[in-house]
Homo-oligomer: A and B are copies of this chain.
């Protein structure tokens, strides 16, 4: 089978670099062009750490659509929609958008790219909206409960992200002098990923179960299901560590809850329920999501961990590309965990 031919836009940013680091070793894909206006002519390894010796690829300002099968948009948020207004991409070219522009259902044909909930739609789509990093980590932890209709009361989520989540542009909160050994919160109860999280949870839940809202959309005093989400800035570069407290209507045994999770993820390639408590570094530099649950009466504490650049971004995007092109779902994604 011919390799999938890939074009990358926004190839000089963090997600662009990580995508290239994956694709240079992908057995069924090849990078045809890596577009970056501002770096055109430079070697890719002059911008992206860790690629020296792996590729002689050069950034281009061109976009030769007829040479590729799929394009990855690695733009900042908001730019994807704008780009599509200004450029005509042939229908033969599939699109995988890393930004949030098309994650919420609406007047477009982008499929939401969370394989654990949308695998079949992904297989047959041409346009894909890749989920957000926080959104992925939180959803992986909550979807088994949502599907079982158990999200019938408050959900409190704490999730701590690494500095790569803030992108490549330096700023006050990514300055090493400030961020090292430090912690802080931001966008408390108002993080934009709540939208896509609630959309998935509502799609997934039984019709009879209550509608899931979020503090962002619906205000703070509703009696329905709400998701309270406190995002933290952590003092590490990669990863998201998330704990969610879900209060059930009535107590369930740990066995029942854990069974739900194991069944839900039985066919998932990269998401696994773990009997042992988790630590963040188990998933770093991998495309995995690991889930662990503790049950205390009617309270369920879910821990979920991912690498924000991989399962939370381009790893999942390549997983989606594999599905869209009928490749093995894990092709190119058997990554050695860094572990340390």
A81 close to chain B: CB less than 8 A: no
B174 touches A170 (CB 8 A): yes
| Tally of A interface residues using CB under 8 Å | 90
Residues of chain B lying within 8 A (CB to CB) of residue A215: 296, 299
B182 touches A179 (CB 8 A): no
For residues 65 through 88 of chain A, which have their beta carbon under 8 Å from a beta carbon of chain B?
none
B338 touches A251 (CB 8 A): no
A63 close to chain B: CB less than 8 A: no
Q: Least Cβ distance of A261 to chain B in Å?
A: 14
Residues of chain B lying within 8 A (CB to CB) of residue A176: 163, 174-176, 179-180, 235, 237
CA distance A334 to B28 in the complex (A): 15
Residue of A52, A171, A184, A284 ringed by the most chain B CB atoms within 10 A? A52
Residues of chain B lying within 8 A (CB to CB) of residue A243: 158, 185, 230
Q: Least Cβ distance of A270 to chain B in Å?
A: 7
Residues of chain B lying within 8 A (CB to CB) of residue A282: 49-50, 52
12 cross-chain CB contacts under 8 A: A50-B281, A50-B282, A50-B339, A54-B337, A162-B340, A170-B174, A181-B284, A182-B280, A185-B303, A186-B277, A189-B296, A228-B245
8 cross-chain pairs, A with B, having the tightest CB-CB distances, nearest first: A50-B337, A220-B297, A170-B170, A220-B296, A221-B297, A184-B279, A237-B340, A163-B176
